Structure 1
């Protein structure tokens, strides 16, 4: 049997509704990947954020950690002077050393628990939405080929399907999680009861309006939506190029790392903008005793220009090193775990289907 015939047969089996991965199974696969990725990647996000945050004029230190998601938390302003890190972090390795030395190794995992709180629902929405969007788009594409063009299914997934599916899934995920991020940011700054949390929501809506809950959403979309489109397009095309329908753990790991690195490099300036904007919002609103009625709202172009004017091209790509060190393995771990879990459930579904047929045959023979 040729490779092409084998690949076509595998694709037909994967798309068979009887064996198709169920949404709940996709949820479990996404959660598994999110847990593993967050535990490994949080330290690199802490370093990336510190390198970006030191460009701002705020007199507080914020950790903008996102093992898979984003949040802010302030350093203790009453920290003794001898425990405070030096003013400047000179690169990734220097940041690791200084943070661990002055704040303890555990600080490299600052915010891991709250990261997981928002990472899990976001990852579920993102990966399940991507799988559903891709499946529906492929069904329409194959229907179009059969009815309009009268041609058989192609071997490769069309370029636009992973691109549009990735973009649509990321928009759903970041919009869903954005209000949760700001609420959790305030909760991280101090212990809060349920009533106080509701009061915080009302305070933000009163001073900033309903859309104040979505502060930072535009730069998040500009960073994450192109990232998602580029990432999934690269990943699916790498699979198609090598004729892989059911990737191994190793293949998914390498393909995810390559795709994630390319997407991260292109979108880093928007990551810097989002860091600056949410740090400013946290300083002036969330962590302020008397939040102002209005907060300066520079548009994205103005923020990019401001960062470029102060720090040049290097400022726009601040934290690129640790971002790549985080994103490449994070994407690799996440997609390989997700694909491996999907493969497990796919074969599980086949096994259960065969068992059902066997039991049905036995009942018929018994009759």
Structure 2
């Protein structure tokens, strides 16, 4: 009995891990640009919107070549492969337990997404801290394992959980809002579309819409999280004060364009691939 219960969860973990791997490899450059915009690296003074993105993009390519756009991809993989797997397997388990065979309602969708993200976010936070430091360009770590050892030795293990509150304030609402909009927009699709060969493309479109809304709502928490993890001596409240004093309210939306693009595309692709793989394995996602 235990094996039969665990088996679908393991499949959900594998499907989630594969979907996260594909999306991370494709969209890592957007995460690098977002982190550089938020931490003002290399003397770049980004403007707003597209101009800021282009300026930082050129700066990274000029100083670090094209491979610089994939800085931090190793910790991204170290976080994404198990992290997305944990998220989707937790989501699947919670959905089977609380919703059984019925589709989740609006409130249930929010709670399912938020619960799954809380578990995955806390578990993978140390790797998230290392990933942020890789991307910002201030730290010259050679490997994920070496970075973990360096932080523990020089700053103490607690530094690996810096930005926990800001991370949860960003990721938990994002996931809850995303699942809410995604599930509701997908449920509103006409039957002839949801059951046709165009269903994956339609689901991807629903994911894009949900991702844009969720990203914009949670952008301020992402900026705070980045500052706390790059400067571990800052606490969440201090980071909020610093951003406001230095940059004003607009500072909380620095890097919103690349983050919205990346989070939207990553989430939409991950959910589309996950659901298609689960359907092929005969499991209801």
TM bin, normalised by shorter chain, reads 0.7 to 0.9
Cα deviation, residue 113, structure 1: 2.0
Pairing 1:104-119 to 2, within 5 Å after superposition: 104-119=65-80
Question: 1:100 is matched with which residue?
Answer: 61
Determine the structure 2 residue equivalent to 1:264: 215
Q: Does the alignment pair 1:27 with 2:13?
A: yes
Larger radius of gyration: 1
Residue of structure 1 in register with 2:201 after alignment: 250
SS at match of 1:331: helix
Describe the shift of the 1:316–1:192 C-alpha distance in structure 2 as closer, same or farther (beyond 3 A): closer
Q: TM-score, normalised by structure 1?
A: 0.65
Q: Describe the superposition over 1:103-143 as per-residue Cα deviations: whole angstroms up to 9, x where unpaired.
A: 2111011121221012111111111111111121113xx7x
Give the SS at the match of 2:282: helix
Q: Which residue of 1 aligns with 2:254?
A: 318
Aligned-residue CA RMSD (Å)? 3.0
Q: CA deviation at 1:21?
A: 8.2
Distance 1:186 1:313 in 2: 24
SS at structure 2 position matched to 1:128: helix
Measured in 2, the distance between the counterparts of 1:259 and 1:21 equals 30
- Note if 1:330 corresponds to 2:266: yes
* Equivalent position of 2:86 in the other structure: 125
Query: Where does structure 1 lack aligned partners over 5 or more consecutive residues?
Result: 1-17, 55-60, 62-84, 143-152, 282-294, 350-367
Give runs of aligned pairs for residues 1-367 of structure 1, distance below 5 A. Answer: 22-54=8-40, 61=41, 87-90=44-47, 91-139=52-100, 157-182=104-129, 189-191=140-142, 200-201=151-152, 204-205=155-156, 211-242=158-189, 248-281=199-232, 295-297=233-235, 299-300=236-237, 302-346=238-282
Is the CA contact (8 Å cut-off) linking 1:86 and 1:98 kept in structure 2? no
Give me the whole-angstrom Cα distance separating, in 2, the residues matched to 1:317 and 1:181: 20
TM-score w.r.t. the length of structure 2 is: 0.83
Confirm or deny: 8 A CA contact 2:72 2:131 kept in the other structure.
no
Aligned length: 268
Unaligned runs of 5+ in 2: none
